[in-house]
Structure 1
Amino acid sequence: LDYETVISHTVVVHATDGGTLKLTGTATVVINVLPANDNAPVFTDPNGSAIINETTPVGTNIYNATATDSDVGTGGKVSYYIISGNGPSNTTFYINPNQGVTYVWSVLDYDTPPQIYNLTLKAEDSGGLFDTMWLSITLTDENDEYPVFTQNTYNAAINEDVTVGTPVAQIVANDADSGVNGQVTYSIVSGDGQTSFEINPATGNF
């Protein structure tokens, strides 16, 4: 029987006696099928993906998960959950349990692993039947960190008769960005009106 296909069956029953002239009685039996939670939810897409920038604001909708359940009534009501892969604190992303909409739920940082989150989403009906899917979320890098000098002021002392090319100081700045966004280039922007000094743009040697 399948409530979702036919909810009621009408059966006609004959009773025939054993006489020479057989007589027959007729009865009608109406059988109503009651719904049972016999169908599990099924995700529309078992593997999902999203690519987002590390500066994506908290609260941004990044993916819509959809699951259907063939049962009717409460047996077909689906709730959504993130059951694994949701970052160290388990709060990096949030899924609306009623709608399956996935949001950014904490500040992201490409420079702090992981750069790829592999979430397992679960769709579960009221009877405990469920389906799961994978959602891969890839972060892209953004130049969101400023170079920071290791000192606010560098002091150096040299004799006035030193030869050209004599090292004066080592200037160091660090940038927390990854890749080319974290590569620092040095330059003198003021205070050297007579062009007496030069800094190596790559190393910071002064």
Structure 2
Amino acid sequence: MALLFLRISCVAEEMALMWHAVLFFIFLSSRFTLAQISYSIPEEMPKGSMVGNVAQDLGLDFKRLISGKGRVHTVDSTEYIALDKERGMLYIKEKIDRESLCATKTPCALHIRMTLENPMELYTITVEITDINDNAPFFQTEEIRIEIIEAALPGARFMLERAMDADVGINGLQSYSLKPTDHFALELESNADGVKNVEMILQKQLDREKQERLTLILTAMDGGESVLSGTVQIHIAILDANDNAPVFRQKIYKVLVNENSPKGTKLAKVTASDADEGTNGQVTYYISNKEKAVKDMFHINEDDGEITLNGQIDYETKSHYQLDIQARDQGGLSDSCKISIDVLDINDNKPTLTILSMASSITENSLIGNIVAMINVNDPDSEVNGQVHCKINDNIPFSITSHLTMFLPCTQIRTWIEREKLSTILV
């Protein structure tokens, strides 16, 4: 009897990724196939719609899908796409809403693995989900109320609530309009993440004796082929003199916080000064973000501007936040600043293993190097916290090795890089 040695090789390269995937292959046949294809489909296709002729595109006889017990495996918990082995087709099993699947992340894709048996074969399939203009911009409040002192000079700025739009790209929020335009103009400021803040700029000084109140209509529009829009009313009350607006000492604050930090953790303290005296110089601080996830996660002390953690922060769920902070005095004048918060990863996730395919038995004369199983290992942590080291028991007639592979879908769609480890257990 030949003496067999255990061979282990499964050390991941140092590369910062949101998750790491490791595939192990236990050899039972010298024949092994690894290939990939990509498709692109719009969201909201009805159930039963065809995604692609996978048999034709991979050069397979559809009978091979039946004899090889073809199966598809998805990383996502919901099986949106299924395999029709009789026709060799991939079809929509559950209607896909791109916004629910990927939120604002682009590109949005499903990563699928198809396996065959006898002999074992592995195919990777990437399905890009493209956006359709199925969401109109909307404001989370029915009206905006602003108090402005009549002594406010042209150039005074007033931050407005920005609209939300679940669509992305050209179908997402693109522009605003304000009517009437007798006293105010709009100015948009793009953030690094592509979100546009909207501010109303006073163009002509107000006169309370002539008009005590103004009503404006703010309209948000997307860029779809058929433009969708949403509106909100702005009610402006004109007050007597308060001629100095608050001014922040900094326009941008940068903060680092560990994930899983406890509620109440102090993140930053912002300060705005107002040259006015008395009640006109009293400043109140607000978080002006309208996203519920942001408002639930952070808290600001209205009196002193101290920002604390108000929820459970998780790097794997969201690694970056941006807070829009507004300081407003009693006369309605305001200034704004931004808090950029980066969440630091800690090693709080264990690797998980999933058996993709496994032979039910092997013959005693099986050749060395034959595949007997394929195993997928995921660790959602990043960088060194997500690097996976794998081994099997000593003193058994199998060995495990791994080979780093890169899957690059069609460049005309977009490019994704998926790290995979192909490991071999030798008989």
TM-score of the pair, normalised by structure 1: 0.69
Specify which structure has the bigger relative contact order, considering alpha-carbon pairs within 8 angstroms and separated by 6 or more residues.
2
Q: Say yes or no: does 1:57 pair with 2:276.
A: no
Post-superposition CA distance 1:93-123 (Å, at most 9, x none):
211111101112222222234x322221101
Match of 1:140 among 318, 340, 344: 344
Measure how far apart 1:158 and its partner are.
Answer: 1.2
SS in 2 for 1:56: coil
| Partner Cα separation in structure 2 for residue 64 and residue 158 of structure 1 | 66
- Would the aligned equivalents of 1:81 and 1:123 in 2 still touch at CA under 8 Å? yes
Measure how far apart 1:167 and its partner are.
Answer: 1.9
Q: How does 1:70-89 map to 2 (within 5 A)?
A: 70-84=275-289, 88=293
Paired residue for 2:156? none
Measure how far apart 1:86 and its partner are.
Answer: 5.7
Please report the RMSD computed on the Cα atoms of aligned residues, expressed in angstroms.
2.5
More deviation, 99-108/51-60: 51-60
Q: How does 1:146-185 map to 2 (within 5 A)?
A: 146-150=350-354, 156-185=360-389
Q: Say yes or no: does 1:105 pair with 2:310.
A: yes
Q: Check 1:120–1:89 CA distance in 2 against 1; reply closer, same or farther (3 A cut).
A: closer
Measure how far apart 1:155 and its partner are.
Answer: 7.1
- Would the aligned equivalents of 2:347 and 2:381 in 1 still touch at CA under 8 Å? yes
Paired residue for 2:329? 125
Q: Check 1:89–1:117 CA distance in 2 against 1; reply closer, same or farther (3 A cut).
A: closer
Paired residue for 2:396? 195
SS in 2 for 1:166: coil
More deviation, 40-49/194-203: 194-203
Paired residue for 2:296? 91
The structure with the greater share of residues assigned to strand is 2
| Partner Cα separation in structure 2 for residue 177 and residue 121 of structure 1 | 31
- Would the aligned equivalents of 1:156 and 1:169 in 2 still touch at CA under 8 Å? no
Measure how far apart 1:145 and its partner are.
Answer: 1.1
Post-superposition CA distance 1:24-61 (Å, at most 9, x none):
xxxxxxxxxxxx53322111112211122223222210
Paired residue for 2:253? 48
Q: Which runs of 5+ in 1 are unaligned?
A: 1-35
SS in 2 for 1:118: strand
SS in 2 for 1:91: helix
| Partner Cα separation in structure 2 for residue 89 and residue 118 of structure 1 | 9
Give the aligned residue type for 2:282. K
- Would the aligned equivalents of 1:75 and 1:125 in 2 still touch at CA under 8 Å? yes
Paired residue for 1:5? none
Measure how far apart 1:180 and its partner are.
Answer: 4.2
| Partner Cα separation in structure 2 for residue 86 and residue 138 of structure 1 | 18
| Partner Cα separation in structure 2 for residue 175 and residue 129 of structure 1 | 49
Point out the structure with max Rg over C-alpha.
1
Paired residue for 2:320? 116
- Would the aligned equivalents of 2:369 and 2:424 in 1 still touch at CA under 8 Å? no
Q: Check 1:86–1:51 CA distance in 2 against 1; reply closer, same or farther (3 A cut).
A: farther
Q: Which runs of 5+ in 2 are unaligned?
A: 1-240, 403-420
Give the aligned residue type for 2:260. T
- Would the aligned equivalents of 1:86 and 1:93 in 2 still touch at CA under 8 Å? no
TM-score of the pair, normalised by structure 2: 0.36
- Would the aligned equivalents of 1:121 and 1:133 in 2 still touch at CA under 8 Å? yes
- Would the aligned equivalents of 2:246 and 2:274 in 1 still touch at CA under 8 Å? yes
Q: Say yes or no: does 1:67 pair with 2:272.
A: yes
SS in 2 for 1:128: coil
SS in 2 for 1:90: helix
| Partner Cα separation in structure 1 for residue 258 and residue 401 of structure 2 | 33
Q: Check 1:204–1:179 CA distance in 2 against 1; reply closer, same or farther (3 A cut).
A: same
Percent of aligned positions that are identical: 39
| Partner Cα separation in structure 1 for residue 349 and residue 365 of structure 2 | 41
